[in-house]
Structures are given as structure tokens and as C-alpha cells.
Amino acid sequence: MSNLDVHPVPATCGGREDVSAKPVHDLLTGRLVPLGESTAVRRLLPNLGRRMVGAWCFVDHYGPDDIADQPGMQVPPHPHIGLQTVSWLHEGEVLHRDTLGSLQTVRPRELGLMTSGRGIAHSEESPREHARLLHGAQLWVALPEAARHGGPAFEHHADLPVLRGGGGLTATVILGGLDGAASPGTVHTPIVGADLALAAGTDVTLPLERDFEYAVLSMSGRVEVDGVPVEAGSMLYLGCGRTGLPLRADSDAGLMLLGGEPFGEKLVMWWNFVARSGEEIARAREEWNTGSAFGTVHGYDGDRLLAPEMPATPLKPRGRER
């Protein structure tokens, strides 16, 4: 997934200054951003009031959109550095291509995980023959220093661990671990991403890690998270210090649980790049626009997406932690 903003705003992220060491309720609403010809997304991270949740640094929620007579998602080839992309669908399909030669259709409840390392480019599109509805989320995970210069990779996992407890909750572990179950997806920091399906009448408490910070993204329906109503398309930041999360739903609902150890490294995010300095971003931008790096995405019917002009103000991370 790309950040298609024509004038992308740089974001400084990471560090522990903004992490709440205690449980909180911080409700975040999404900013509408167009994505291609017929799709718009609700951008929850980075948000004016919240930059990261653990290593999760970018969250888009889209749909459900009726694309029966539309092209659906059409994201041209574009580059990434310093991150992993996580594709997650509730309805529809997304065709992934990348500069490694990967060609994969990602379907509902399947994990599409791309690790950029030092650099990769990819495209995403609805197949020509596609389902009527498109509904999902696209997320980025920031890579730590030890992993961000490694080689790129793509993984597709159709079989993920599923936890079924009493009380009407079904949890699919997308990334990291939850309550003893671990996703096969490669991770580089302590993290969790899980899809939570709540049946009507659910009233349960989900076990959590006290040292993780958490947020929940509401995908569908209406649910109470620790007593707070959370509507579809919004996200509730929960802070750290929790060992359990009460969940209640009067009708069927869907959530994504995002969490992890607070990410201590300082980051600069701009367009589709996660780096440590403005100089790194400027270099990646130049290499992509001139075609001197990243390689070629073969098979996409259209032009690649060029990086916009960088802001005049130098991109710098926030001051270092003491």
C-alpha cells in the first residue's frame, strides 16, 4: 500500500516520549485519503495525536466499498525502505507484484507480508475479475536498525493460528504472538497483530502483555472496548500496563488488535519511506525517480508512481532519548 498524498507531510516517530505507561482511552478518527480511482482510505496512523503503537507506524482502513462496476484498488509501482507492509482483508482480493518477481493474490484472512529492508518496490490492484466488495486494512511495521538494511522479502501465509475461547470471540494471529499462539510471519521486534471476530452477545476479557502498548482498530460493527464504544473506522489507543482487555458486542463486530513493545528508535517518515534522517529519504527518493535502484515491477499495466517534491524544511527525527 502506498501513501498517495501529492504533498505528503513528514512525521517524526519513535522514542518513548509519547507512550503512555498507564492504561488510557484515546479515541482516534481517520483522515480520508484517496487511493487510486475508486477507493478512499481512513488513515489512523500517523495521526495528529498518535504516531506509533509499538512498531506499528502506519494504519489505513478501507471499505467496505462496492466495486462491482469499478476498477477497485489500483496502486501503481512505488518504493519502500525501512519497513514491513501488512495486507489484511475481510472482503475482496488484492493482487500483489514486486521487484522480487512475486505475484500473489491475497484473500480474506490471509497474510501478505512484505519486508522492504534496504529497498523494494511493489504494486497492488484488484484483479480484473473481482468480488463486489473490498474491505480491509493496510499497515506498516517499522524495522529496527538491525534489520532495516537487510535484503527484501515477501511472504504469503494462508494458514494462520486461530484462538477460539468462550464468550463468542475468535482471534486470528496475524503477526507476532497472542495468548501462546504465534504467527508464521517474520517479525523483528516484540509485536502482535490479531484479527478479532466478536459474535453478538460477546462479553470476554482478552489476555494482554503488561509491557506492550496497544490499540484496537474497529473494522465493522460496534463494540465496547474496556467500556468505550468504538465505531467502525476508528481506533482506540490503550497505552501500556494492561494484562487484560474487556470486550463486549451486542451484534457481530470485527476488530484488529495492534500492539508491541514501545519502539525506542527515532524515525523520520515521508511518503513511502521510513528512515533515520532526511538525507536517507532524499537519497531513496532520487534513486527511485531516476530508476537507479529498487528494480522493476513487471506485469503492472500502467506507469510507476514517482515521488513528489520533498518539503523545503529539513526532515529530522525528534531529539534523542536521554
Q: What pLDDT, on a 0 to 100 scale, did the predictor assign at position 14?
A: 72
Q: Which three cell numbers stand for residue 142?
A: 517499522
The residues, ordered by sequence, that sit 6+ positions from 274 with a Cβ below 8 Å of its Cβ are 57, 80, 81, 82, 83, 140, 142, 143, 148, 267, 268
Mean pLDDT of 171-192: 98
- Answer yes or no: is pLDDT of 38 > 70: no
Between CA 36 and CA 177 the distance in angstroms is 33
The residues, ordered by sequence, that sit 6+ positions from 312 with a Cβ below 8 Å of its Cβ are none
Q: What pLDDT, on a 0 to 100 scale, did the predictor assign at position 319?
A: 41
What does pLDDT average to over the chain? 93
pLDDT per residue over 221-252, tens digit each? 999 999 999 999 999 999 999 999 999 999 99
Percent of the chain with pLDDT over 90: 84
- Answer yes or no: is pLDDT of 287 > 60: yes
Q: What pLDDT, on a 0 to 100 scale, did the predictor assign at position 18?
A: 80
Rounded to whole angstroms, what are the CA distances from 201 to 206, 226, 228, 234, 253?
15, 15, 16, 21, 10
Mean pLDDT of 151-180: 96
- Answer yes or no: is pLDDT of 10 > 70: no
- Answer yes or no: is pLDDT of 217 > 90: yes
Contact 178, 257 (CB under 8 A): yes
Reported confidence tier of residue 213, pLDDT bands at 50, 70, 90: very high
pTM of the model: 0.94
Q: What pLDDT, on a 0 to 100 scale, did the predictor assign at position 316?
A: 77
pLDDT per residue over 269-285, tens digit each? 999 999 999 999 999 99
Reported confidence tier of residue 49, pLDDT bands at 50, 70, 90: confident
Mean pLDDT of 114-133: 97
pLDDT per residue over 105-120, tens digit each? 999 999 999 999 999 9
Residue closest to 305 by CA, chosen among 271, 279, 274: 271
3-state helix, strand, coil in the chain (%, to 5): 5, 50, 45
Q: What pLDDT, on a 0 to 100 scale, did the predictor assign at position 150?
A: 97
pLDDT per residue over 192-202, tens digit each? 999 999 999 99
